[in-house]
Amino acid sequence: MAHNHRHAGKPRRQPQAVIIGMMGAGKTRLGKEMAQMRGLPFLDADVEIEREIGMSIPDYFAQYGEPAFREVERDVVCDILDSFGGIFSLGGGAPMTKAIRRRLAQYVARGGKVVYLKADPHEAMERANRGGGRPMLTGDAEKRWMSLFRQRDPVYRQVANLVVPTRGMTPKAAAKRMIEMVAEHTVHVDGRGIEPYDVRIGEGALSHLPEVLGKQPVRVALIHTQSVQRHSDRARGLLRQAGYEVSDIVIPDAEAGKTIEVANGIWQRLGTEGFTRSDAIVGIGGGACTDLAGFVAATWMRGIRYVNCPTSLLAMVDASTGGKTGINTPQGKNLVGSFYTPAGVLADLRTLTTLPNDIFIEGLGEVAKSGFIMDPQILRILEDHAAELRAFSGETFLGTPLEDVVSELIERTVRVKAHHVSADLREAGLREFLNYGHTFGHAIEQLEHFRWRHGNAVAVGMVYAAELSSLTGHLDRDTVDYTRSLLTSLGLPTSWNGAGFDEVLALMHRDKKARGNTLRFVGLEQVGEPFHLNDPDSEAGRGRPSTVCRTREWNRSGRCEVNIRPECKVGADHPYTLRPRYSGEQPTATNWRDNGNEVTADQGHGGQWAESGAARSASAGCVRFAGSRGAASTLHPVGGRIRP
């Protein structure tokens, strides 16, 4: 089907990483190590240049001088940047050449990773001198090295998009860290009313904790659940090593942790332990834990620094971004809370190693949602890897191709969320599109007393929203069917039979997304094109057999079954299938005729029908009607067949 087309064209070849840094930083050594670990080829610019000039670099320097050398260097480096797919290390002076900087900037813009390998000056200096044959270090080597460092360090920082400090690390550990950082994805969240922050996604992302917390905090409250103890231990180690005083705070699991009592307990503890405005909070856990931790951070002294470390797929793709924090009350979920921007989000893929399969799958519901509302590539990835994703096992997934798949899905989903929340922080317009599938999903969650997990409820809600979009003439049947089959292939539910439709409808009316008396949905015109579907005729909402009302409502009454038939649609630009308004009583000839080529409208429709010009035919219980899209909402365009 339409969603199957593959990535068009081959991506151009470019290095997986380009390493820059001072001489003696270990660029060649670590680059080789890194390449070997990843099974990639390695090139060293200086070796390639010597091959090109047919002599050693010191000889070339002596014979032709530095400017001539820089020219050769520029040509060789630019050539390799355009044609080589492995790990590439540059000479220490290369980034000082403007043309090379420009090429590196283009490389970064295409997703390239320029790693600044930042060694301890003394270690690097010693290595550089030991090696000998460095034309740039002639004379007082140490003094030369330091003065070059002062010149080059700011340029390296500007050119690189990753900085890897290697002080005190073994070459193996440093190479491993470089690999992790190169594989890391960063989504920058920015927009009106938000202080910008980064969501960093990757194996080992927790190691950015000290850098995100900054130098100011003395104390850090590490809030987590028992379920992620292994990861909070790692975080605590990193924090202590960086010199923070860490208060370890364990809260009850899941929703039980999102209460005023738990928040109060933490406030008291922060008070006793002397937390000030300049201290900080780190929340590490699923969305419930990070919501609570964020809420405490937002309220303690009117807001202290907060770092969000999500450990479930859902928390990574959804709860981490957008700034919502909060707690539940006995009356409902998330009734108390605040918008509060974190200093940063660290989604460490290593935390997923302990995540149970069903909770991972549930998170895919929100991932798919982001695909439907904005990013079709997400759907393609889900399709291509459905079987592996469905079989997700935390213990074994690191280091497998699935890790890269999951990492890309997280990045793309966070990007979708960031896009929708950056336009307006508070619930409105664009942000509301994130609620695709949620109006119905929330009703399911409530009727199931939250025994249904959110992502599962949203999956069913998306099927409902797709059906509704199709019933109201906006979405083609193929996409509705595709919605079902994709979600099913991921192990997500697509139907629910837990209650009668009127109960669902009543709840949807009460949902906080319903404004005033209007029932608000997010519908789909096509994949990637959501729209606001306000107050679809309640009959249209009813007309969804397999998601909700077939078994209970309609058959129990013994009266009729709504049966949406794709073939009822005419192939015009704006085809609708219609079922005349009908009050719940037996349909009669006054509001329905299916045996002629003309449909007699009931009074309520007369004007509209006349205006849009025509019911043309009806057959096999299907009414064909071509009208304009604008008239759709007043026409009650519900497709179907009514069987007494």
> Which residue ranges are tagged as binding site?
24-29, 46, 70, 92, 134, 152, 253-258, 287-291, 311-312, 324, 333, 351-354, 366, 438, 454
- How would you classify the pairing of strands 575-577 and 622-626? antiparallel
Nearer to ligand NAD, 73 or 445 (CB): 445
Nearer to ligand NAD, 49 or 281 (CB): 281
- How would you classify the pairing of strands 305-310 and 280-285? parallel
Distance CA 103, CA 5 (A): 32
Binding ligand NAD (rule: CB under 6 A), the pick from 14, 16, 166, 227 is 227
DSSP string over 385-400 = THHHHHT--HHHHTTS
Where residue 168 falls (left for φ over 0; alpha for ψ -120 to 50; beta otherwise) is left
Nearest approach in angstroms of CB 326 to ligand NAD is 7
Query: Which residues, other chains included, contact 149 with Cβ-Cβ below 8 Å and sequence gap of 6+?
Result: 22, 121
Stretch that binds ligand NAD, among 20-28, 132-140, 349-357, 463-471 (CB under 6 A): 349-357
Interaction with ligand NAD in 593-612: which residues (CB under 6 A)?
none
Binding ligand NAD (rule: CB under 6 A), the pick from 355, 447, 480, 524 is 355
Nearer to ligand NAD, 95 or 326 (CB): 326
Nearer to ligand NAD, 286 or 543 (CB): 286
Nearest approach in angstroms of CB 286 to ligand NAD is 2
DSSP 6: P
Nearest approach in angstroms of CB 492 to ligand NAD is 14
Nearest approach in angstroms of CB 426 to ligand NAD is 12
Q: Under the criterion CB under 6 A, does residue 100 sit at the interface with ligand NAD?
A: no
Nearer to ligand NAD, 310 or 639 (CB): 310
CB 331: neighbour CB atoms within 10 A?
6
Q: Under the criterion CB under 6 A, does residue 403 sit at the interface with ligand NAD?
A: no
Decide: 525 and 531 in contact? Cβ < 8 Å.
yes
The structure tokens 């700034």 sit at: 323
Q: Under the criterion CB under 6 A, does residue 228 sit at the interface with ligand NAD?
A: yes
Stretch that binds ligand NAD, among 95-103, 183-191, 225-233, 607-615 (CB under 6 A): 225-233
Nearer to ligand NAD, 145 or 452 (CB): 452
Nearest approach in angstroms of CB 328 to ligand NAD is 8
Nearest approach in angstroms of CB 289 to ligand NAD is 5
Nearest approach in angstroms of CB 458 to ligand NAD is 10
Stretch that binds ligand NAD, among 108-116, 158-166, 222-230, 439-447 (CB under 6 A): 222-230
| C-alpha distance from residue 458 to each of 342, 441, 506, 545 (Å) | 26, 5, 18, 18
Nearest approach in angstroms of CB 495 to ligand NAD is 22
Decide: 297 and 275 in contact? Cβ < 8 Å.
no
Stretch that binds ligand NAD, among 149-157, 353-361, 424-432, 599-607 (CB under 6 A): 353-361
| C-alpha distance from residue 274 to each of 145, 212, 343 (Å) | 46, 22, 21
Interaction with ligand NAD in 308-327: which residues (CB under 6 A)?
311-312, 314-315, 318-319, 322, 324
Q: Under the criterion CB under 6 A, does residue 334 sit at the interface with ligand NAD?
A: yes
Binding ligand NAD (rule: CB under 6 A), the pick from 351, 435, 439, 547 is 351
Distance CA 556, CA 551 (A): 7
Distance CA 340, CA 306 (A): 9
The structure tokens 């928390």 sit at: 315
Nearest approach in angstroms of CB 311 to ligand NAD is 4
Stretch that binds ligand NAD, among 57-65, 118-126, 172-180, 249-257 (CB under 6 A): 249-257
Lookup: tokens for 488:
């099913």
Binding ligand NAD (rule: CB under 6 A), the pick from 141, 254, 336, 626 is 254
Nearest approach in angstroms of CB 397 to ligand NAD is 12
Distance CA 530, CA 369 (A): 11
Query: Which residues, other chains included, contact 187 with Cβ-Cβ below 8 Å and sequence gap of 6+?
Result: 198, 199, 201, 321, 411, 414, 415, 418
Nearer to ligand NAD, 117 or 343 (CB): 343
Decide: 461 and 524 in contact? Cβ < 8 Å.
no
Nearer to ligand NAD, 87 or 368 (CB): 368
- How would you classify the pairing of strands 219-225 and 280-285? parallel
Phi, psi of 580 (to 5 degrees): -60, 155
Distance CA 12, CA 134 (A): 35
Decide: 482 and 391 in contact? Cβ < 8 Å.
no
DSSP string over 109-129 = HTT--EEEEE--HHHHHHHHH
Lookup: tokens for 525:
């015109």
Closest CA to 495 of 527, 470, 525, 462: 462
Nearest approach in angstroms of CB 208 to ligand NAD is 18
Q: Under the criterion CB under 6 A, does residue 225 sit at the interface with ligand NAD?
A: yes
**Cα-to-chain-centroid distance, residue 426:** 19
DSSP 639: -
Q: Under the criterion CB under 6 A, does residue 359 sit at the interface with ligand NAD?
A: yes
* Binding-site residues for Zn(2+): 366, 438, 454
Interaction with ligand NAD in 15-34: which residues (CB under 6 A)?
none
Nearest approach in angstroms of CB 6 to ligand NAD is 32
Q: Under the criterion CB under 6 A, does residue 253 sit at the interface with ligand NAD?
A: yes
Nearer to ligand NAD, 279 or 291 (CB): 291
Nearer to ligand NAD, 164 or 206 (CB): 206
Angle formed at CA 404 by CA 402 and CA 405, multiple of 5 degrees: 60
Decide: 289 and 236 in contact? Cβ < 8 Å.
no
Q: What torsion do the CA atoms of 465, 468, 469, 471 make, to the nearest 10 degrees? A: 160
Q: How many residues sit close enough to ligand NAD to count as binding (CB under 6 A)? A: 28
Nearer to ligand NAD, 148 or 347 (CB): 347
Lookup: tokens for 360:
């991972």
Nearest approach in angstroms of CB 412 to ligand NAD is 17
Nearest approach in angstroms of CB 457 to ligand NAD is 12
Phi, psi of 345 (to 5 degrees): -125, 130
Q: At what angle are helices 438-447 and 501-510 packed, to 10 degrees?
A: 110
Nearer to ligand NAD, 44 or 362 (CB): 362
* Binding-site residues for substrate: 46, 70, 92, 152
Interaction with ligand NAD in 163-192: which residues (CB under 6 A)?
none
Interaction with ligand NAD in 263-302: which residues (CB under 6 A)?
285-289, 291
Angle formed at CA 457 by CA 340 and CA 314, multiple of 5 degrees: 40
Residue ranges in contact with ligand NAD by CB under 6 A: 225, 227-228, 253-255, 258, 285-289, 291, 311-312, 314-315, 318-319, 322, 324, 333-334, 351-352, 354-355, 359
